[in-house]
């Protein structure tokens, strides 16, 4: 009888081990998680596997756009329905998560009444630690919420992470972020971390005495540069804190559509990744899809004239020499005599009028001189 019991117990343990092994490998992506051989994530199941089994220091790269849930938000940006697959934030992450220019859509996190005597970090990643990095990632159609029972100050909510002590760069968010404590478009609490070259168009809201920002809720000892948020998504870019920030600015929908933000995001970078095809019914916002077109800024007399796709012609004045941000010279051929103008007032500052304000009789199609 005792032998039979031992055999049964052994069989049960082997079965449990096999089941655990199967669950640990189910959905496992290709790759080993090293910097040289990151996990190659192609599906939502592989993303969930990475979150549960990948390890806090593992490296990963998205190979496709990932959809976890469909139609999470309605046309007004509010939560649309129930029964959604929930996401548990990845904590203490110190690896590199490379979005590869792809998107994660349908992220749903609803952490309410978090334990009040601990910190609550809510986002795709809960906490990005020192050395951790998230780059080239778009978060779309997502709803992310976090709160606590008592200690609201211990709650930090963002689309990419709740708390950041690493680096977030070249990311975008169009999902909804809300909560208490520190609430930001990308990061709730930037604790000596870096956020750069990112933009947010998703609605960001906080309740109680929350620090709320279109980019970051609270920036303590961190650095945030060259980041933009849609002016209707939040009242401020950074909700509070003593960190350093530069060129953290709100932009209108028209400024996004014009290509201005795309150019600004790329401006401090060598071979910046942001693209936007500027045609009728084209891209309304910057994107990381390399098949879309590069944006350049055209100037004359050091004044801004227009943003356009590299290589495109544009309208301008004859006898003017224009330069784009790639250093290429443009000229406007004269096909009729220009409209006479009064001599400039030497006391007035030298400015180039907006394109729409220039004499229409003098506007001609301009082309690169070296084309």
Q: Which residues contact 78 (CB under 8 A, 6 or more apart)?
A: 176
Strand order of the β-sheet with 120-122 is: 120-122, 155-157, 182-184, 211-213
Q: Would you write out the chain's pLDDT as a tens digit for each of its 371 residues? A: 455 444 444 444 444 444 444 445 679 999 999 999 999 999 999 999 999 999 999 999 999 999 999 999 998 889 988 899 999 999 999 999 999 999 999 999 999 865 555 789 999 999 999 999 999 999 999 999 998 766 666 899 999 999 999 999 999 999 999 999 999 999 999 999 999 999 999 999 998 888 999 999 999 999 999 999 999 999 999 999 999 999 999 999 999 999 999 999 999 999 999 999 998 889 999 999 999 999 988 876 666 668 889 877 766 666 565 666 565 655 555 444 444 445 544 443 333 333 333 332 233 355 555 44
**This prediction's pTM:** 0.82
How far lies 101's CA from each of 16, 18, 63, 185, 342, in Å? 40, 37, 9, 18, 51
Q: Which domains does the chain have, with CATH numbers?
A: 28-266 (2.160.20), 295-368 (no CATH)
| One-character DSSP codes across 290-321 | TTS--EEEEEETTEEEEEEETT--EEE-TT-E
Nearest by Cα to 305 from 297, 295, 293, 313: 297
CA distance 18 to 285: 48
Q: What is 169-194 written as a DSSP string?
A: EEEEE-SEEEESSEEESSEEEEES-E
């Amino acid at each position: 009888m005792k032998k039979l019991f031992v055999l049964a117990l052994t069989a049960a343990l082997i079965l449990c081990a096999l089941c655990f092994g199967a669950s640990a490998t189910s959905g496992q992506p290709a790759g080993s998680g090293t910097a040289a051989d990151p996990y190659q994530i192609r599906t939502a199941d592989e993303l969930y596997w990475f979150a549960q089994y990948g390890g806090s220091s593992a490296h990963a790269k998205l190979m496709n756009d990932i959809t976890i849930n469909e139609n999470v938000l309605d046309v007004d940006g509010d939560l649309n329905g129930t029964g959604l697959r929930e996401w548990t934030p990845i904590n203490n992450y110190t690896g590199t998560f490379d979005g590869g220019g792809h998107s994660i859509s349908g992220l749903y996190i609803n952490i309410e009444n978090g334990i009040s005597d601990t910190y609550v970090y809510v986002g795709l990643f809960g906490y990005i630690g020192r050395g951790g990095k998230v780059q080239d990632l778009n978060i779309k159609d997502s709803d992310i919420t976090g709160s606590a029972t008592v200690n609201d100050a211990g709650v930090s909510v963002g689309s990419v992470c709740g708390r950041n002590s690493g680096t977030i760069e070249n990311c975008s968010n169009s999902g909804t972020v809300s909560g208490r404590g520190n609430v930001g478009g990308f990061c709730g609490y930037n604790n000596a971390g870096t956020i750069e070259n990112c933009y947010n168009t998703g609605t960001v809201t906080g309740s109680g005495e929350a620090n709320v920002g279109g980019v970051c809720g609270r920036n303590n000892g961190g650095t945030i540069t060259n980041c933009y948020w849609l002016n209707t998504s939040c009242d401020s870019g950074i909700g509070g804190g003593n960190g350093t920030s530069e060129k953290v600015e709100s932009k209108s929908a028209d400024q996004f559509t014009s290509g201005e933000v795309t150019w600004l995001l790329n401006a401090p970078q060598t071979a910046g990744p942001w693209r936007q095809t500027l045609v009728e019914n084209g891209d309304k916002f910057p994107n990381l899809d390399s098949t879309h077109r590069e944006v350049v800024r055209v100037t004359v007399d050091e004044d801004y004239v227009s943003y356009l796709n590299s290589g495109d012609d544009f309208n301008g004045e004859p006898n003017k020499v224009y330069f784009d941000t790639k250093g290429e010279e443009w000229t406007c051929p004269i096909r009729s005599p220009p409209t006479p103008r009064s001599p400039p007032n030497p006391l007035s500052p030298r400015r180039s009028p907006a394109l729409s304000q220039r004499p229409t009789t003098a506007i001609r199609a301009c082309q690169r001189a070296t084309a």
